[in-house]
Amino acid sequence: MSGGAGGDGDVKPLDPTAVASVVFYGLAADSLLHRAAGEAVVYSQLYPFAGLRNYTSGIIHHVRLQGLEPGTEYFYQCGDPGIPAAMSEVYAFRTMPAVGPGSYPARIAVVGDLGLTYNTTSTVEHMVSNQPDLVLLVGDVSYANLYLTNGTGTDCYSCSFAKSTPIHETYQPRWDYWGRYMEPVTSRIPMMVVEGNHEIEEQIDNKTFASYSSRFAFPSTESGSFSPFYYSFDAGGIHFIMLAAYTDYSKSGEQYKWLEKDLAKVNRSVTPWLIAGWHAPWYSTFKAHYREVECMRVAMEELLYSYAVDIVFTGHVHAYERSNRVFNYTLDQCGPVHISIGDGGNREKMATSYADEPGHCPDPMSTPDPFMGGEFCGFNFTSGPAAGKFCWDRQPDYSAYRESSFGHGILEVKNETHALWRWHRNQDMYGSVGDEIYILYSRRLLCWLPSVSFSRRRRRRPERRRWC
């Protein structure tokens, strides 16, 4: 629950202890026999510059319900029972199926770069019509940072925003609008979020991600990451890993060390499917953001590959693209399928140009994201059809399908060996499919050597790749 509390100049944060954080829940709407209490937080977004409006949030409540049965519908009501009329109406949600190879969420919706536009509402309406059990949102949520602090939106931020102002403005009430709009979805369907670049939201004292970190809850402690930016969780026979593209991902960093530990703990006989998600794609062939996160790919791809990750979901590029199984830009049956689905409805432009079109290959030095450490890793290809070049001169063979349309995806993991992926476009009728593929488990046993240590697996890769 959240509410707006913005103002000019100095703003006084609300007292988060002034209101209790309570949830009553149970197996029937008229029998909410259980009670759980949580904690409340507030955050502020402060700009110490003349003419900019500061913001402090409403009280945001987090309550953790424990001991729930898997695959069960629960009814709940939240608020402060000590304050008249401060309890919500009764909502209901269904928990994920039990962890194990024989049960899966029926439909997992995947969306990216959602925003709050007419395209967003179309995406969400189409998504709800597919009745998902779980929603993955792979970053770029409210786009509050495309507004000035007075609430004025701009299609050209750099044109409207004073270049001398040292911090990019945001209009934080957009987060409140987004939360209210999404409430019919998020109040009844579990949603897991990972951060995008639009969640960075710099402010005073070099603070970042204040809204993102305060408004969502993450299983960080449960998965041992202790970070809101990367974490893992199980849903039925799927182990999900959500990674941070805008936090240190180097091999000597905390995220990489955590990822090594998390992958080593995955038992594929319990969770046969291993799915990763983060914001900026490694394998997009659109001109926009082309090879922008090469340093992250260079740092982490081999580790994910060595554990035979099945699918990678990303966003950031405002279009849809599905890869063939790929590793290090080479077709490889042991590599994951990369699906970039940043076409949720953002208020920026749709990506329409491909880097392989004549005249559209970007200058390599212009491609690194400044929020990713200022490193440069996007060197020319050294082998294959694009050897010696930064871009291919035709659609790369690792790009299976690409299209500039708004939409969302639905993943149906059927069993241990088959998962059906469908991409739904907003311009189509509900239920129509724009792209569809079965992703198979069958080669995983050849690609995954669970009894061999990571260092030994790396040494054995040539043998494994021969099998594939």
Instruction: Give the residue numbers marked as catalytic.
Output: 289
**In the complex, least distance from residue 347 CB atom to Fe ion, rounded to whole angstroms:** 12
| Nearer Cβ to Fe ion (196/378) | 196
Could you tell me how many residues of this chain bind Fe ion (CB under 5 A)?
Answer: 4
Region from 93-101, 128-136, 191-199, 369-377 binding Fe ion, contact rule CB under 5 A = 191-199
Q: What are phi and psi of 417, to 5 degrees?
A: -120, -15
- Does residue 196 interact with Fe ion by CB under 5 A? yes
Q: How many CB atoms lie within 10 A of CB 385?
A: 11
Region from 23-31, 96-104, 192-200, 248-256 binding Fe ion, contact rule CB under 5 A = 192-200
Closest CA to 416 of 131, 14, 112, 100: 100
User: Which structure tokens are listed for 420?
Assistant: 């059906």
| Nearer Cβ to Fe ion (80/140) | 140
Region from 72-80, 189-197, 268-276, 424-432 binding Fe ion, contact rule CB under 5 A = 189-197
* The binder of Fe ion chosen from 145, 197, 214, 285 (CB under 5 A): 197
**In the complex, least distance from residue 280 CB atom to Fe ion, rounded to whole angstroms:** 6
| Nearer Cβ to Fe ion (196/236) | 196
Residue nearest to Fe ion (CB): 316
- Does residue 133 interact with Fe ion by CB under 5 A? no
Region from 7-15, 32-40, 188-196, 459-467 binding Fe ion, contact rule CB under 5 A = 188-196
Q: Which amino acid is at 294?
A: E
* The binder of Fe ion chosen from 23, 57, 61, 140 (CB under 5 A): 140
| Nearer Cβ to Fe ion (196/228) | 196
| Nearer Cβ to Fe ion (105/196) | 196
Region from 126-134, 194-202, 251-259, 419-427 binding Fe ion, contact rule CB under 5 A = 194-202
Spatial separation of the C-alpha atoms in residues 163 and 74, rounded to whole Å: 51
Long-range contacts of 299-304 (CB under 8 A, 24+ apart): 299/249, 299/250, 299/251, 299/256, 300/243, 300/249, 300/256, 300/259, 301/327, 301/328, 302/458, 303/256, 303/259, 303/260, 303/263, 303/454, 304/263, 304/276, 304/336
DSSP H/E element including 79: strand 73-79
**In the complex, least distance from residue 205 CB atom to Fe ion, rounded to whole angstroms:** 24
Please say whether the dihedral angle defined by the alpha carbons of residues 305, 192, 19 and 59, taken in this order, is positive or negative. Answer: positive
Map residues 83-122 to x or -, x wherever contact with Fe ion holds by CB under 5 A.
Answer: ----------------------------------------
Question: How far is residue 322 from each of residues 76, 82, 113, 147, 309, measured CA to CA in Å?
Answer: 38, 51, 16, 31, 15
* The binder of Fe ion chosen from 287, 316, 322, 338 (CB under 5 A): 316
| Nearer Cβ to Fe ion (149/197) | 197
Contacts (CB under 5 A) with Fe ion, residues 423-462:
none
Spatial separation of the C-alpha atoms in residues 44 and 46, rounded to whole Å: 6
3-state SS record for 321-367: EEECCEECCEECCCCCEEEEECCCCCCCCCCCCECCCCCCCCCHHHC
- Please report, as ranges, the residues that interact with Fe ion according to CB under 5 A: 140, 196-197, 316
